[in-house]
Amino acid sequence: MHHYFLTALGSVFQFQEVRFIEAVVDFLRKGQVEEINLVHNLDCPLKKKIIGHSQELDSRAEKQLFDLYIDHYDRINRCESEREKVRELALLHMERFIPTLAGHPLLARVIAEEGIRMNGMLIDTQSQKIECLPAKTWTRSVYSVN
């Protein structure tokens, strides 16, 4: 019945900041959260900036997404359009999200104890579509566009 939103630039959360993690853990324990959705907008200017090889990457989120882009440069650039490349970058980010949460000493425990499900969403405002992606499908073989 209730929906809560926690946003971060480019959907990149700073899991190394202890105060942030403690606040999230406290909220997950008290908020009766059933599901976490990682949302990526395919019209995100930040992701377009990274795909376009911008030299102006100022934030930690931009630098982290750029590192992900470089690590998977061949996979992303097999895609033809900018939109497909942004989508692939978002999918790669989702693939890293679950292991990050599952491996985090504070977050993993509360997610398991509370039975919180994880999903992803790709928002395409141009076509006015939302693609829902259960976490178990966040693999290259299922959702790669190449």
Percentage of the chain exceeding pLDDT 90: 27
Q: Quick check: 77 pLDDT over 90? A: yes
Q: Quick check: 68 pLDDT over 90? A: yes
Contact by Cβ (8 Å): 82, 51 = yes
Say what the pTM is.
0.82
79-134 pLDDT, tens digit per residue, is 999 999 999 999 999 888 877 877 788 888 898 888 888 888 899 988 899 988 87
Per-residue pLDDT at 96: 84
Burial of 6 (0-12, 13-18, 19+ CB in 10 A): exposed
Nearest to 94 by CA among 38, 13, 43: 38
